[in-house]
Structure 1
Amino acid sequence: MAIPFYFSIYNITFINSLFESTSGFTSTGFSIFENIKHIDQSLILWRSSIQWIGGLYFLFSIIFLIDIYDESLKKSLTNFFTFNSSEIIKQTSKIFILYTFLTIFIFIVLNLLDVRTFNSFNLSMTIISSGGFLPVNDISNIVNSDIQKFVFSLLMLISYFSIFFIYNLVFFKNRNKDFFYEDYHLGFYLIIILSIFFIFFSFNNNFVDIFFSVSSSISNIGISTSSYQTHLSFIFLILVVVGGSFFSTSSGLRFIRIYTLLKFSLNQMLSFSKPRNIFMSKLAFSKINFDFEVINKYFLSILIFIISFFSLTILLSFFNIDFEKSLKLAILTLMNTVNSTSFGLDEFNFNELHVFIKYSFIFFMVIGRIELLTIFLILKKYLFKN
Structure 2
Amino acid sequence: MNYRLIFKLIGNVLRIEALFMLFPLLVSFIYGGGDHPAFLWSILISAAVGTILAKLNPKDKNFRVKDAFVVAGFSWIFLSLFGALPFYFSGYFNSFVDCVFESISGFTTTGSSILTNVEVLPKGILFWRSFSHWIGGMGILMFMIAVMPSINASSVNLLRAESTGPAPDKIVPRIQETAKIMYMIYFAMTVILVVFLKIAGLPIFDSMLNAFSVAGTGGFSNMNASIGGYNNIAAEIIMTVFMFLFGISFSLYFALLGRKFEKFIKDTELKIYFGVVIVSILIITINISGLYNGIWEALRHSSFQVSSIISTTGFATTDFNLWPTLSKSILVFLMFTGCCAGSTGGGMKLIRFIILFKAAKVELDKIFHPGSVKAVSINGKKISNDIVFKTSLFFFIYFAIFFVSLLLISIDNKDIVSSATAVIASLSNVGPGLGTVGPTGNYAAFSSFSKIVFSFCMIAGRLEFFPVLVLFTPHVWKRRVIK
State the TM-score, normalizing by the size of structure 2: 0.70
Deviation, 1:59, is: 7.8
Q: Confirm whether residue 359 of structure 1 aligns to residue 446 of structure 2.
A: no
- For residue 24 of structure 1, give the secondary structure of its aligned residue in structure 2: helix
Which consecutive residues of structure 2, in runs of 5 or more, have no partner in the other structure? 1-82, 144-154
5 Å matches for 1:62-141? 64-66=158-160, 73-74=167-168, 77-78=169-170, 80-82=171-173, 84=174, 88=176, 90-138=177-225, 139-141=227-229
Report the Cα distance in structure 2 between the residues aligned to 1:112 and 1:68, rounded to whole angstroms: 35
Q: Distance in 2 between matches of 1:376 and 1:344?
A: 27
Distance 1:69 1:2 in 2: 24
Q: Distance in 2 between matches of 1:385 and 1:244?
A: 38
- Of 40-49 and 274-283, more deviation after overlay is shown by 274-283
Q: Does 1:371 align with 2:457?
A: no
**Equivalent position to 2:252, from 165, 169, 179:** 165
* Contact 2:355/2:376 (8 A) holds in 1: no
Segment of structure 1 superposing worse, 257-266 or 6-15: 6-15
Closer/same/farther in 2, CA of residues 11 and 162 from structure 1, 3 Å limit? closer
2:113 aligned partner, one-letter code: S
Matches for 1:240-259 after TM superposition, within 5 Å? 240-259=335-354
Distance 1:72 1:18 in 2: 29
How far apart, in 1, do the equivalents of 2:439 and 2:162 lie? Answer: 38
Bigger Cα displacement from structure 2, 59-68 vs 107-116: 59-68
Amino acid at match of 1:365: M
The alpha-carbon distance between structure 1 residues 174 and 164, as it changes in their structure 2 partners (threshold 3 A), is closer
SS at match of 1:7: helix
Deviates more, 1:248-257 or 1:316-325: 316-325
**How much does 1:317 deviate?**
1.1
Distance 1:382 1:67, change over 3 A: farther
Letter in 2 for 1:28: T
2:19 paired residue number: none
Taking structure 1 as reference, are residues 109 and 265 closer, same or farther at Cα in structure 2, changes over 3 Å only?
A: same
Q: Secondary structure at the match of 1:346?
A: coil
Of 81, 86, 95, which aligns to 1:13? 95
AA partner of residue 60 (structure 1): M
Give yes or no for contact 1:19–1:358 (8 Å, CA) kept in 2.
yes
Cα drift, residue 111 of structure 1:
1.1
Q: Give the C-alpha shift of residue 234 in structure 1.
A: 2.1
Q: Secondary structure at the match of 2:250?
A: coil
1:187 matched to 2:274? The reply is: yes
Does the 8 Å contact 1:300/1:373 carry over to 2? Answer: no
User: 287, 290, 305: which one pairs with 2:383?
Assistant: 290
Q: What stretches of structure 1 of length at least 5 have no aligned partner?
A: none
Q: Return closer, same or farther for 1:59/1:295 CA change in 2, 3 Å cut-off.
A: farther
Q: Return the offset for 1:109.
A: 1.1
**Aligned ranges for residues 194-343 of structure 1 at < 5 Å?**
194-198=281-285, 201-203=288-290, 204-205=294-295, 206-227=298-319, 229-231=322-324, 232-275=327-370, 281-283=376-378, 286-339=379-432
Residue 116 of structure 1: CA displacement? Answer: 1.7
Output the CA distance in 1 between the equivalents of 2:164 and 2:304.
32
C-alpha contact (below 8 Å) 1:230/1:341 kept by paired residues: no
RMSD: 3.1
In the alignment, what sits opposite 1:2? Answer: 84
Q: Deviations over 1:257-315 (max 9, x none)?
A: 111101211220121123356656322xx211231100001000010010011111111
Q: Which has the higher contact order (CA 8 A, sep 6+)?
A: 1
- Paired with 1:197 and 1:297, the residues of 2 have a C-alpha distance of 33
Question: 2:51 maps to which residue?
Answer: none
Query: Larger deviation: 238-247 or 195-204?
Result: 195-204
Q: Highest Rg: 1 or 2?
A: 2
How far did residue 201 of structure 1 move?
Answer: 4.9
| CA shift for structure 1 position 48 | 0.8
Decide which moves more: 299-308 or 28-37: 28-37
Question: 1:58-112 CA distances to partner (integer Å, 9 max, x unpaired)?
Answer: 68299744499999855xx45x221x4xx53x33222222211111011111112
Cα deviation digits, residues 314-336 of structure 1 (max 9, x gap)? 11112212122111111001011
Percent sequence identity is: 24
| SS at structure 1 position matched to 2:279 | helix
Q: Could you say if the C-alpha distance between residues 327 and 200 of structure 1 is closer, same or farther in structure 2, counting changes exceeding 3 Å? A: same
CA distance change for structure 1 residues 280 and 22 in 2, over 3 Å: closer, same or farther? closer
- The question of whether the paired residues in 2 share the 8 Å contact of 1:264 and 1:290 is answered with no
Checking the alignment, whether the CA contact within 8 Å between 2:134 and 2:215 is kept in structure 1 is yes
CA pair 268-42 structure 1, distance change in 2 beyond 3 A: same
CA contact (8 A) 1:37 1:137 kept: yes
Question: Are the counterparts in 1 of residues 433 and 439 from structure 2 also a CA contact under 8 Å?
Answer: yes
8 A Cα contact 1:59 1:248, kept in partner: no
Distance 1:345 1:118 in 2: 26
Instruction: Give 1:7 shift.
Output: 0.8
Normalised to the residue count of structure 1, the TM-score between the two structures is: 0.87
Aligned to 2:42: none
1:122 counterpart letter in structure 2: L
